[in-house]
Amino acid sequence: DSGVTQTPKHLITATGQRVTLRCSPRSGDLSVYWYQQSLDQGLQFLIQYYNGEERAKGNILERFSAQQFPDLHSELNLSSLELGDSALYFCASSTQTGTGDGYTFGSGTRLTVV
Amino acid sequence: GQNIDQPTEMTATEGAIVQINCTYQTSGFNGLFWYQQHAGEAPTFLSYNVLDGLEEKGRFSSFLSRSKGYSYLLLKELQMKDSASYLCAPGGDNYGQNFVFGPGTRLSVLP
């Protein structure tokens, strides 16, 4: 157990639907990052939150949104889903300073859009 | 922005040594991470270089040259379980933590 919890582990939904993925960071970590990984593709950075505020944004679609709550858990909302959104979605958390211990990843949510 | 380049695939034999290279161009840099990712699983942290030179950690070593925008991961005494993707990630934000990963190098270890 990495300490980063993602739910659900698997999700199957139809095109056009909306889903919410949840992430609880490791205890004490203030930063949360969301990544998308399509089949045989690299990790694509979506968005970062730090202590409740958006810190950086990557190639996140307008149909996608995220937030980090006061208890530091984060949610990634995906709407108007398309077949191409099928992917593994990872959440990672890190300490607030660059101590070099890197990111800790959750086990991911596998989203299948049918 | 960041431009990160790694070989797509590599193959090596059990017991051998393999070097996985990474070149990058990034605005702002605090250090470079290497991660291992087995298929369908989450990436796991391997190493972090903030100074130039070689960092050794067991069978894995990582080298960094900041002036050249170059790093490599050296894996010794390869084992079958080392078959995985290896991701290079230059750290670029103000907190020294990266958020952009390279495309990854898929390593296959053969018996």
Per-residue pLDDT of chain B (111 residues; tens, 9 = 90+): 568 999 999 999 999 999 999 999 876 677 888 999 999 899 998 988 988 999 998 999 999 998 899 999 999 999 999 999 999 988 755 554 557 788 999 999 999
Nearest to A105 among B33, B43, B93 (CB): B43
Section A53-63 average pLDDT: 91
Dihedral pair phi/psi, residue A59, rounded to 5°: -85, 60
Q: A1-48: per-residue pLDDT in tens?
A: 789 999 999 999 999 999 999 999 999 898 899 999 998 778 998 999
* pLDDT value, residue A40: 73
Query: What 3-state DSSP class applies to A83?
Result: helix
Place of tokens 């695939």: B9
Place of tokens 């990052």: A33
Nearest CA in chain A to B6: A42
Q: Could you tell me how many CB contacts below 8 A there are between chain A and chain B?
A: 66
CB contact under 8 A, A105 and B40: no
CB contact under 8 A, A45 and B93: no
* pLDDT value, residue B25: 85
Distance, in Å, from the CA atom of B14 to the CA atom of A109, rounded to the nearest integer, reads 33
Tell which A residues from 20 to 79 touch B, by Cβ distance under 8 Å: 31, 33, 35, 42-43, 45, 48, 50, 55-56, 58
Nearest to A90 among B42, B93, B103 (CB): B42
Mean model confidence pLDDT for chain A: 91
CB contact under 8 A, A105 and B44: yes
- Closest Cα in chain A, distance from residue B66 (Å): 16
- Closest Cα in chain B, distance from residue A71 (Å): 21
Distance, in Å, from the CA atom of B74 to the CA atom of A10, rounded to the nearest integer, reads 35
Place of tokens 């709550």: A69
Q: A99 and chain B: CB distance < 8 Å anywhere?
A: yes
CB contact under 8 A, A33 and B99: yes
Place of tokens 């307008």: A62
